[in-house]
Structure 1
């Protein structure tokens, strides 16, 4: 694989970052993506979505690069990618779990429910129609969301106090609870920053030092931006930012994919990548 002269690699969140918050549209970033492609800069998706959910988007984007899923719980590398093979968006990928295998997480939550009586419904308890109803996804999307390798989402049906007790039990087992908008997620210890570091090591082993650029909009992106050489907070739909710009972390001037594009175009204009 040919690298950019600057050996930059872009690591990006999807929802409300590269994709619009409401319409999931990436077209406002299309010109910036084309500029990166012209400079041979890889774009690595780092998302809470599953590998199955990312597959169709990578085809639409023409993205043939490694990616990370389930909040950094697993990374996927197209076969032969770091050995110089010619890859495209449909090249089979090898998935490596960085956090914990889904089966182990599922066993843990079932045990805690049995021992302590916590009330929740996990994805492992659900059929496709149940996930579609809980998420608003169509059946195809629900099936992709169910196809998990490194996390177990739960519909929490108990009290806040019970959630705190549950979280303590999960932590005692060496796992992590993250509370999202609809679901409580049980994961291993890996996060998006770990995924960036894992991929950085492989890029640098194959090509030498890289400049890691990361873009995100929310708290679960913080570790990734910290792990990067240059990080960008993209503005949220109300125009605010998750955190201040400080040190190597900047603010992109714009919301979602428009802000994403502004950040990338500024980096290229200032010859940083």
Structure 2
């Protein structure tokens, strides 16, 4: 902590700009990946959803098959009962017994008709579900192929950049430790509030980098003197002079080349 307090304004500005250059490099690497990680994640979710749907449809098909077997068994049982009742009718003693058995036969015949109707409906459901399964399998194959392509694409980018990104993140953490906490917090807050993540920028053609607002000559002189930390009144960015920026860029390019 003592070393941080002894740092001059110029040393703080250099350290902040070095941190900015490292973080901007990390941002570039992330931009190269772009939306690929999210695309891969969405495709993985879709593939999982399709597999779950296929499992459910297959289970439903099995249930329908079981229902058809149950109805066929019911038909066989009804036919056996009809045969039994038909034999009983031959030995009836009165009309009352005959009518009672006739009603039982009619009831079993209705059971057979209803079971056959259900079987027909079940078979129609099977055809419909088989069609949906075929479409789902086709969609799944297409999505799996697309997922593999996107994963290969992402893996290739990661293979090229992962080592550098890890090294840069480590360097970013090291450089943060060289700067007092108050400045690091201010730097991060500014980075979060600007769309390109540039919290420390050089004065370019009399204006704040990335801005069209002109900086008064007197303020430009103060920035060049490196005696105090000055922020852009419009964007809140920390401003540095072009000479300091160029010196730090050259230094950091060498660092990046060694990673």
Under TM normalisation by the shorter chain, which class is it? Answer: under 0.3
Higher helix share: 2
Higher strand share: 1
Point out which structure has higher relative CO (alpha carbons under 8 A, 6+ apart): 2
TM-score normalised per structure 1? 0.24
